[in-house]
Copies of this chain bind each other. A is one copy, B any other.
């Protein structure tokens, strides 16, 4: 049995290109006792993976050149020498970017019995959904009376954050980069949408969209978005810093916001987080979101590329705004 895998060929300088990746075919050994062979059916590409392509100390070690990339994946057990993972079981893992792998169960989670599509565990029922919920409730202490600004609002995390905040009773403003995405956001019930590519002044656009000011900013973007949010925050506002996608491909250090004095003037809290630190609370999230889905209260979109060889293109597409909702690769 062979596994097709995407390896990191070289570290990207700026926006990743196809050259930074190679497709390798690796023979897999025979299964030993206690092992299983998994065929991946879906894999996730996420903006945070860009950070792991840089050779630096971080919360997860950097990807190594000449080795397979990693990331969320859903697969099916096709051979088993392990009683807990019979053939036909579906498992989620961090062993994406490959068609097959052998495991002994470590780091694998069997999908629960649900009527949800498997790939939802890479999106709304998985890391992106849990990220949205964690940022809003565990970092920003979301209250029903809050006005919430969410950047990259049509993405995997943003589109779920918008809906959770609406269900909690909040007024929600989202920013997106196209009219099509703006329409999508309106279809989710968001109160006001900013197309940042058409706004000449993001501070003014946000002031117009939220004349009452912003209590919570769910930060996915950085740069001008953060500056505009700081200018429009209300006293005691909270900023959950989830991502800074505008910075990820920068080849030179990007200056930060010139208005950090707003932190003092408005007594703001700004806090970065990594969802994996909060994973002990996943059950709480999954129960709540499962119920919202059963009640028909949430929607989600997927942008799907097909075939392992398309994975680099899907990943690069994240930085070109090619996805609406969760970007996935079907294997």
Interface positions of A (Cβ within 8 A of B): 51, 58-59, 222, 226, 235, 241-244, 247, 253-274, 277
Which B residues are in CB contact (< 8 Å) with A257? 256, 260
Q: Considering the complex of A and B, which 4 residue pairs feature the smallest CB-CB distances, nearest first? A: A256-B256, A255-B255, A263-B272, A253-B258
Tell me, rounded to whole Å, the shortest Cβ–Cβ distance linking A250 to chain B. 9
Which B residues are in CB contact (< 8 Å) with A235? 59
CB < 8 Å neighbour of A259 from B253, B266, B271: B253
Tell me, rounded to whole Å, the shortest Cβ–Cβ distance linking A214 to chain B. 15
- Cα A257 to Cα B254 in complex, Å, equals 8
- Cα A247 to Cα B268 in complex, Å, equals 18
Q: How many copies does the complex hold?
A: 2
Which B residues are in CB contact (< 8 Å) with A256? 255-260
Which B residues are in CB contact (< 8 Å) with A254? 258
Instruction: Say yes or no: B272 contacts A265, CB within 8 Å.
Output: yes
Instruction: Say yes or no: B264 contacts A241, CB within 8 Å.
Output: yes
A-B contact pairs, 12 of them (CB 8 A): A51-B265, A59-B267, A222-B261, A255-B258, A256-B256, A257-B260, A262-B272, A263-B272, A264-B272, A265-B272, A267-B273, A268-B271
Among A242, A244, A272, chain B packs the most CB atoms within 10 A around the CB of A272
Instruction: Say yes or no: A263 contacts B274, CB within 8 Å.
Output: no
- Cα A323 to Cα B320 in complex, Å, equals 52
Instruction: Say yes or no: A274 contacts B267, CB within 8 Å.
Output: yes
- 8 additional A-B pairs beyond A241-B263, A267-B273, A269-B271, beta carbons within 8 Å, are A51-B265, A241-B264, A243-B264, A244-B264, A263-B272, A265-B272, A267-B271, A269-B272
Instruction: Say yes or no: A266 contacts B258, CB within 8 Å.
Output: no
- Cα A264 to Cα B253 in complex, Å, equals 16
- Cα A254 to Cα B259 in complex, Å, equals 8
Tell me, rounded to whole Å, the shortest Cβ–Cβ distance linking A166 to chain B. 25
Instruction: Say yes or no: A269 contacts B270, CB within 8 Å.
Output: yes
CB < 8 Å neighbour of A222 from B59, B241, B244, B260: B260
Tell me, rounded to whole Å, the shortest Cβ–Cβ distance linking A93 to chain B. 24
- Cα A262 to Cα B262 in complex, Å, equals 19
- Cα A265 to Cα B258 in complex, Å, equals 21
Instruction: Say yes or no: B271 contacts A263, CB within 8 Å.
Output: yes
Instruction: Say yes or no: B261 contacts A247, CB within 8 Å.
Output: yes
